[in-house]
Amino acid sequence: MANETVFTRYQGNPIITPDQVPGANSIFNSAVIDFGGAYVGVFRIDGTDVVSRLHLGRSRDAIKWDIDPEPLQIPWDDPDGEVQGTGYDPRITKIDDTYYITWCNDNHGPTIGLAETRDFTSFRFIENCFPPFNRNGVLFPRKIGGQYAMLHRPSDPGHTPFGDIFYCTSPDLVYWGKHRWVFGRRGGWQSGKVGPGPVPIETDEGWLMIYHGVRITCTGFVYSAGAALLDLEKPWKVLYRTRNYVLAPTELYERVGDVPSVVFPVATLLDKKTGRLALYYGCADTCVGLAYAQLSDLIEFTKKHSF
């Protein structure tokens, strides 16, 4: 590998900036997926009122995006449910012929909202998966042991000065249990807290999970990205976990913004023919960046630089 941090940034970064959507203060921590020969995305947009909302976007090349100026509306068929208009840090997971969106919803505090769609035209809200406080809910792309499976991070009402990754399962996407601890913070760049990132990728070596790690400095939080390989049938069992980061804030657009020094991995697109992995990540809580790596190189790096 030519670069021991594995990923190479797209030369046109950042690929999405707030000036692309009227009334946007920032666009970051957003999810994308291939759909119908093109791409769709669910984007976190903080407006000039600095309230986080989800917006739908579309692209032909996964680089240039047209983003709806109006927030995404996801109806809930429960007459007693409290539908919230805010939301942030979405992920998109395809299971069979259905696309599931998870995000940090507001239900008397941060929790994980879950919705489904098959066409990205009509949506249905399923349920808030956990009681407050919780962040970073990420569904696995298939059932494990006959159950739906999710990674998540229990939280607090503030900026979460701690955080471990947990695994849980559900028979129906509504009731979640059998929580298992995956891992917590370690030294260096992940000494403050950790959290799951993009949808895990199934490989012969295990589930490849890219995650974010945080260190707390005298001037605040610094977010970087790492990788881990989890057991295919018992994903709470960690096979390898990177001691070194795979991507960290070094560029100006990653260091300067609403929240300085943040690389927050959220989504990947894998070209199965070439093995090239595209990583979409939030930059300084302000814009969206793109970086590339070969899947085989990332797996090799994860095993080579493991604790």
pLDDT digits (tens, 9 = 90+) for 285-297: 999 999 999 999 9
230-259 burial: b if 16+ Cβ within 10 Å, else e: bebeebbebbbbbbbbbbbbeeebbeebeb
Q: Which residue has the tokens 């505090």?
A: 109
Q: Is residue 9 part of a domain?
A: no
The Cα-based distances of 1 to 33, 94, 96 in angstroms read: 27, 31, 35
Q: Is residue 3 part of a domain?
A: no
Q: Is residue 1 part of a domain?
A: no
- Give me the pLDDT at residue 83, please: 66
Q: What is the largest CA-CA distance in the chain?
A: 56
- Give me the pLDDT at residue 3, please: 45
- Give me the pLDDT at residue 78, please: 86
Res 4 pLDDT > 60 = no
- Give me the pLDDT at residue 176, please: 98
DSSP 6: -
Exposure on the CB side of residue 220, measured as CA atoms within 13 A: 11
Q: Is residue 6 part of a domain?
A: no
The proportion of the chain whose per-residue pLDDT surpasses 70, expressed as a percent, equals 98
Using CB atoms within 10 A of its CB, is residue 72 exposed (0-12), middle (13-18) or buried (19+)? buried
Res 91 pLDDT > 50 = yes
- Give me the pLDDT at residue 232, please: 98
- Give me the pLDDT at residue 150, please: 98
Q: How far apart are CA 176 and CA 168, in angstroms?
A: 6
Res 2 pLDDT > 90 = no
Res 246 pLDDT > 80 = yes
Considering only residues 162 and 294, tell me which one the structure prediction assigns the higher pLDDT: 294
- As for how many domains the chain has, the answer is 1
Q: How far apart are CA 130 and CA 273, in angstroms?
A: 38
Q: Is residue 158 part of a domain?
A: yes
Q: How far apart are CA 295 and CA 40, in angstroms?
A: 22
Q: Is residue 26 part of a domain?
A: yes
Name the pTM for this structure. 0.97
DSSP 43: E
Query: At 208, is the pLDDT very low, low, confident or very high (cuts 50, 70, 90)?
Result: very high
Range of the structural domain that residue 131 is part of: 17-304
Q: Is residue 48 part of a domain?
A: yes
Res 33 pLDDT > 50 = yes
The Cα-based distances of 243 to 42, 166, 246, 301, 302 in angstroms read: 31, 19, 9, 10, 8
Res 272 pLDDT > 50 = yes
Res 158 pLDDT > 90 = no
Res 84 pLDDT > 80 = no
Phi, psi values for residue 257, rounded to 5°: 170, -165
Q: Is residue 4 part of a domain?
A: no
Res 81 pLDDT > 80 = no
Q: How far apart are CA 26 and CA 43, in angstroms?
A: 10
Res 86 pLDDT > 60 = yes
Instruction: Average the pLDDT over each of 6-20, 71-85, 96-110, 279-293 and give the range with the smallest value.
Output: 71-85
Res 1 pLDDT > 60 = no
Residue 293: CATH number of its domain: 2.115.10.20
12 Cβ neighbours under 8 A, 6+ residues apart: 63
164-186 burial: b if 16+ Cβ within 10 Å, else e: ebbbbbbeebeebeeeeebbebe
Res 190 pLDDT > 60 = yes
How do residues 42-52 score in pLDDT, each as one tens digit? 999 999 999 99
